[in-house]
């Protein structure tokens, strides 16, 4: 079997393993790794929890010394610095791995090519760029956060066939399967954002209601005048940030601060400055932000250039005249799949 094909087979396994960390490792990247000897996988692992063992260390866990001629496949360049854990390159070198095959170099300046150089200096062969596009796609949110110091924005909207986000009767536009898929989007995210109009109209909980979900994203409300009721359901379980402006009454800020973090930010176009909010969220380590608000919030984020990806759940219904229209924007490389009775269309902006 050609060597390149071998590399791709093992790298695909590592990419699959990396997904175990979705929603659990941010602000760190997703990473998977497999240890191979004589064409067989003899160890595998993933970075599955923030502060936990990195993928390379997990793949080497059962070996004090790897068999002679072993190759380690990693979706991302191993770290060479001390962080929450010791440098992964030290463990790889000490274990006697002969070769490391990488999907992509790490975008983080603290790591980028430093890990590869450390391995080569120790006599470990390094080959990079195997399924690089797939490896980069896996961590496009992390790469964006590292480069711009702001979250990677994903806009989610449920729309009818005639492009509306509301309908005359009933709460839901989409079916149960699509709503379940929406919770998977929440699980992928560090934070979920809505505008105050959504809170007042729908009183959402904004949590992940999937079996086995061990963590919840931060809940964020855009509320320039602090109209969010103190008994709103989203406060159940904590983890709420309310972004407001100087127009909010001081007594309301004081009361809200007892149950949530309140950020008083500059005002722009009559509401909270999206740019100022994103800057603060970036500092907080929010890598992926899911924008779930209505049309007004969605348009504000689009105008600010604050969303990099959009997910449309298209339902087989016609809402009719008088309903609120969704912001419809061209998508690059859209992926389309059937989710129950609905279509899920996901692509980059």
Which residues are the active-site residues? Answer: 56
CA distance linking residue 44 with residue 59, whole number of Å: 4
**3-state class (DSSP) for residue 44:** strand
Q: Residue 20 gets which letter from DSSP? A: G
Provide Rg for the chain, Cα atoms: 23
CB 298 within 8 A of CB 155: yes
Q: Residue 310 gets which letter from DSSP? A: E
CA distance linking residue 174 with residue 164, whole number of Å: 12
CB 329 within 8 A of CB 320: no
* Token pair 């990488």: residue: 102
CB 257 within 8 A of CB 249: no
CA distance linking residue 349 with residue 341, whole number of Å: 25
Strands 71-76 and 32-37: antiparallel
CA distance linking residue 240 with residue 221, whole number of Å: 8
DSSP string of 125-153?
A: EEE--TTHHHHHHHTHHHHHHHHHSSPEE
Strands 218-222 and 240-244: parallel
Asked whether the CA dihedral 308, 313, 317, 322 is positive or negative, the reply is negative
């Amino acid at each position: 079997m050609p060597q390149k094909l071998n590399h791709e087979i093992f790298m695909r396994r590592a990419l699959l393993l990396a997904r175990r960390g979705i929603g659990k490792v941010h602000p760190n990247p997703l990473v998977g790794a497999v240890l191979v000897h004589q064409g067989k996988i003899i160890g595998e692992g993933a970075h599955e929890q923030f502060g936990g063992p990195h993928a390379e260390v997990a793949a080497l866990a059962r070996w004090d010394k790897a068999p002679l001629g072993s190759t380690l496949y990693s979706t991302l360049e191993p770290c060479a610095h001390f962080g929450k854990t010791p440098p992964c390159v030290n463990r790889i070198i000490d274990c006697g791995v002969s070769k490391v095959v990488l999907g992509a170099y790490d975008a983080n300046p603290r790591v980028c090519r430093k890990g590869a150089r450390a391995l080569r200096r120790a006599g470990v062969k390094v080959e990079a760029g195997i399924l690089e596009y797939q490896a980069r796609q896996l961590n496009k949110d992390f790469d964006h956060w590292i480069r711009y110091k702001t979250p990677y924005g994903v806009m989610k909207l449920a729309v009818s066939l005639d492009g509306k986000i509301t309908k005359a009767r009933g709460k839901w536009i989409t079916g149960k399967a699509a709503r379940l898929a929406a919770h998977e989007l929440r699980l992928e995210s560090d934070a979920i954002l809505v505008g105050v109009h959504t809170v007042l109209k729908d009183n959402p909980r904004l949590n992940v209601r999937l079996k086995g979900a061990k963590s919840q994203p931060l809940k964020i409300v855009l509320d320039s005048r602090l109209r969010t009721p103190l008994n709103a359901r989203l406060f159940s379980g904590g983890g709420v940030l309310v972004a407001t402006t100087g127009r909010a009454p001081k007594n309301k800020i004081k009361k809200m601060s007892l149950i949530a973090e309140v950020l008083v930010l500059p005002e722009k176009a009559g509401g909270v400055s999206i740019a100022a909010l994103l800057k603060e969220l970036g500092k907080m380590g929010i890598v992926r932000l899911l924008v779930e608000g209505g049309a007004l919030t969605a348009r504000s984020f689009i105008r600010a250039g604050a969303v990099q990806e959009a997910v449309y759940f298209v339902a087989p219904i016609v809402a009719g005249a008088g309903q609120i229209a969704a912001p419809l924007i061209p998508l690059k490389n859209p992926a389309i799949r059937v989710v129950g009775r609905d279509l899920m269309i996901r692509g980059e902006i």
